[in-house]
Every structure is written in structure tokens, then in C-alpha cells.
Amino acid sequence: MKKILISDKLADDGINFLNQQQGIQVHIQTGVSEDELCALIPEFDALLIRSGSKVTEKVLKAGKNLKVVGRAGIGVDNVDVKAATELGVIVMNTPDANATTTAELAIGHIFSLSRNLPQANLSVREGKWERSKLMGAEVSHKTLAILGFGTIGRIVAQRGNGLKMRVIAYDPFVTPEVFAEYGAEPVTLEELIKQADYLTLHCPMTEKTRGIIGAEQLAMMKKSAILINCARGGLVDEEALYKTLENGDIAGAALDVYEHEPPKDSPLLKLDNIVFTPHLGASTREAQVAVSVEIARQVVTYLNTGEAVNALNLPRLSAEELKKSRQFMMLAKILGKMLVNLVDTPIKKLEVGTYGKAAEVEIRPISVEALVGMLADQFDTPVNSVNVESIAKRQGISLIETKTEESQGYLFLIKVTGHCQGRTVSLEGTLLGDCHPRLVSIDQFEIEVVPEGTLLITRHDDKPGVISAISSVLGESNINISRMQVGMADSQQQAMAVISVSDPLDEKLVQAVCDIPAVHTVKQIHL
């Protein structure tokens, strides 16, 4: 008999589903403290929560029989995922169960702003009849611009098409085929912002996307444009948004999420051309039922079959498996991370090959880690070996594996190749002394590099003075060069430099290197 503890309120539909399952015993006790949860948890195989329960390391250690924590919803800030991983406890969530609800809220805000609905409601309540003052606008044939084209963004696109809107979208990790399937035209981020009549955000919150809509981007928007954020607080620079709205540089905005929640002291609250909702993205009866039923199904599936749907971490590998493949997996992850930073267009296919002694171990954990390296920094929820394949599939990325015991000149060799639209990029890596990773080639350039820290990678003309010019630019900005390797390609009059630097370069300094006449491309990678 598998025992499940529910420590937060779930919809009755989810509880009823659990009660109908053979071999499952359910116990409900909500509103418990950490100590109370520690006292309860030892006898249970699974814990189902929402946002109320705090699943700390102390709770996890007390769960002697605990196998899985299921979060009804997407956020797992209240779960110590790292501790769960170390203790071999699966953590899973329901990332798509409330996607429709959030997408519909964004569409609702579009109509609310276009037809001045909050102002109209207040006007009538005050005994006024301001029809001419509250003149609105149709959304039909306007440009709906979607920043982030995951599950929610795609639902928004479908709704926009149904409203006869022109739908454009930006997401650097989605392939053209996926955009086409959902009736969206892929554009650059700058084009998206400039062309938008309605700019709606549906991207995750990462270091790369924090403040993605700031003063510079707001200045690009049409004066008639409207901004909607139902994704994550922090994607929009609220100070810059305040100045933009106060000056009338865009027509309006709607926020469901904020840098600080609730936004009690925000100057935005003083403006009339912005609409607020209190983080209602998932707040519908249907969504509450959906997340409860979905997490119940996922947890039962895991307990009965071991299949971990929407898992955010991994159980511990056996010592034997770790010994065989850990270093190859680490190398593959590094190569995947470097690969995604060397391309400017979405990777449609990732090819992973193992050679020599690397081909003697199971390839799937290695290739999956290459995917993890490629996608881990692109999402605000954890990406790991359990969930990365489904994420890649959702993004339209296919995985191809090849293995051969031919050595390719190295005792161990792993090769990752990213197939983009009209271009491929390949990286090869090996291990020195069975444990020290080395990058040995990028495309046709043979180059031995220690893949760690901050790397500056340039392609430039193969002629005297280029390396000196790059070094001078870095030296003038007090950037120390710890290592530098230069490789040439036999078939080209070009060279490649991989430079390990002491500190990351800001955008201005990267541009200064790029402005050196003989330099063609500059990429900066943080490992």
C-alpha cells in the first residue's frame, strides 16, 4: 500500500482521483508547521503540496520513505530541490496545467485596455456617461507580438489568430516549424518590439531575461502600443515603464506580476493608463482542478511505474553508473552550453557522437547532458536529465546519437553538432587523465582549450597584428588574459582565438573587440 500525504488544499477532483486508485492510501492534513510536517512525513511515500507547505531539507530528511514531492502548479520555491536530489526524492510540478488560464488572462487584458473597460466601469458607477471620452480600438488586424513561445505563448498565438490579428513572435530556442504550426511569424527581438500593437510577455525569468523590457526597448515601441506582462515580475523594468507611461510614450500597460508582490509603494499605482491584477494567472476554477488532477496522476504514475512525468530533478545514480559515465556527462554538458552560445539561430537538431573509449559506455546519459547544457540557462525552472528531453521536444529540437570505437586520434572523444537553419556548428572534447575536460576543436579549427571561467571566442582574418589588437583592447580595460589559444583552419584564410579572461566583458567592450577591422565575430561564454 502506497501512502500519500496532502498538506495543502487541493481540488476535490484530484483527491477523488487518488481515492479511486487501488493500492493508494490518502491522508489529508493541511496548515501544518515544519515540525508537524516532520513528524507526519516518515510513513509516507509521496507528499502533495501547493505553495503553502515548506518542504525544507529538515522535512526531506525526516521522510525516510519519501519518494516523490508533487507540486500542484509550476513554482517550486517552497521546495528545497537540491536537498531532494541529494536524498533521492523526485520533485515534480505541473507546468502546463494552467497554461490556458494564463494565456486567457493576457487576452483579457488586451480587450480591457483596448476598450477602456476599468475606466468605463468606474465612470458609470460615478453616474457619468462618457462615451466619447472612452472611445476604444478594435484588436482585429492589429499586430500581436509574443515574447516567449512556450506553451502559454503558443496558446496566445492561437487566440490571436482567432481574433484575426497578425501574430509575430520571438523565441531564440524555437524552430521555424513550430512558429509556423501555431500561425506566428518569427522575428528578431527588435522587430518584435517595434512592430507590436500589443506586446505580451510569456518568457521565463532567467538572468538573461531579467529586465528584457527596459528603457531602451520601451523607447522602440509605438506610441499607440500596449504592454502586457502575465509571466514573471522582473521581466519589465518598472521604473522605466513608469517614466514611459507618465510621458505618454506608449498607450498603456497591464501587469499581473511585479518585481515586488504586492506592489504597495509602486509609483505605477498613481497612473491612469495602466491596469493591475493581483497575480491571477492561474486563478480559475478550471486551473485549480487541472493542476490538482494532473499532479495526482503524475504521482500515482511514478509510484506505480517509476515514470517521472515533469520531474525537476533526478534520483541518485548508482556508484557503478557514476563511475562509468560521470566525466563524459560533465564534458557533454560543457560542450552543449558552449554550443548554444556560439549560434545566433535556433538549433533544430542536436547530434551527439562518442568515439574511442567514450563509446564503451551508454550514450543516452551523455547525449541528454549535452541537451541539459544547451537548454539549462533558458528556463526559470530547473532543466535536468529527467525533463530535458520533453522540453527539447516541445521546442522542436531533435536528438541524434552516434557512437563508434574508432578513436579519431584521441583515447576519448565526444562531438556535439548543432544543426541550425542553413548552418551547422560542431565542437569536440576529450578528457586528459580520464577526468580533465578539454575542448579540442570548434568546426574546422583545431584548438585545445580548458573549458572553464569566462571565454572570449573570436573568428578573425589570419594575419599579423590581430591578436595584439585584441590584447590591447582588453588590457586598456584592465581585463587580464589567463590563457589564449589560437587555431587555424586549413581550408580558410581565417583563425580562431579562445581567450580565458579574468572578468566578464560588458556589451560595450565586446563591441570594441568586434570593431577591430580583421575580427568577424565575437562570442562570450560563461562556464
Asked, colleague to colleague, whether 2-97+286-305 and 99-276 share their fold, the answer is: yes
Question: Any idea which residue has 531539507 for its cell?
Answer: 57
Q: Which fold does the domain 2-97+286-305 belong to in CATH?
A: Rossmann fold (3.40.50)
Among 202, 232, 438, 460, the active-site one is 232
Domain boundaries, the chain: 2-97+286-305, 99-276, 317-443, 453-527
Q: How far, in Å, CA of 416 to CA of 413, rounded?
A: 10
Q: pLDDT at position 255, please?
A: 97
Cell of 266: 509602486
CA-based nearest residue to 387, from 155, 170, 85: 85
Name residue 526's beta-bridge partners.
454
In the chain, which stretches have pLDDT less than 50? none
Cis ω for the linkage preceding 262 (within 30 of 0): yes
Q: CA Rg, the chain, in Å?
A: 26
pLDDT score for 170: 97
Which one is the CATH code of 99-276: 3.30.379.10, 3.90.550.10, 3.40.50.720, 3.40.50.10140? Answer: 3.40.50.720
Instruction: Report the CATH fold assignment for 453-527.
Output: Alpha-Beta Plaits (3.30.70)
pLDDT at 96: 85
- Name the active-site residue from 138, 261, 406, 476: 261
Q: Active-site residue 27, yes or no?
A: no
Q: What phi, psi does 15 have (nearest 5°)?
A: -65, -40
Helix residue ranges, H only, 357-465: 363-375, 388-394
**pLDDT score, position 138:** 95
For residue 234 the three cell numbers come to: 522582473
Instruction: Give the strands of the sheet with 46-49, arranged side by side.
Output: 24-28, 2-6, 46-49, 68-71, 90-92
Q: Which of these is catalytic: 279, 297, 326, 394?
A: 279
Active site residue 232: yes
- Cα distances (angstroms) measured from residue 64 to each of 67, 88, 317: 9, 11, 18
User: What does the pLDDT read at residue 75?
Assistant: 79
> Does residue 254 sit in helix, strand or coil?
strand
- Give exposure, 172-189, as e/b (b: 16+ Cβ within 10 Å): bbbbeebbeebbbbbbeb
Burial (CB < 10 A; 0-12, 13-18, 19+), residue 117, is: middle
pLDDT (0 to 100) of residue 321: 64
Provide the CA 135 distance to its chain's centre, in angstroms.
Answer: 39
By CB atoms closer than 10 A (0-12, 13-18, 19+), residue 341 is: middle
From the options 2.40.320.10, 3.30.230.10, 1.20.1060.10, 3.30.1330.90, give the CATH code of 317-443.
3.30.1330.90
Instruction: Indicate if 159 belongs to the active site.
Output: no
Cβ-contact 265, 238 below 8 angstroms: no
Predicted local confidence at residue 490, as pLDDT: 63
Sign for the pseudo-dihedral over CA of 193, 199, 201, 202: negative
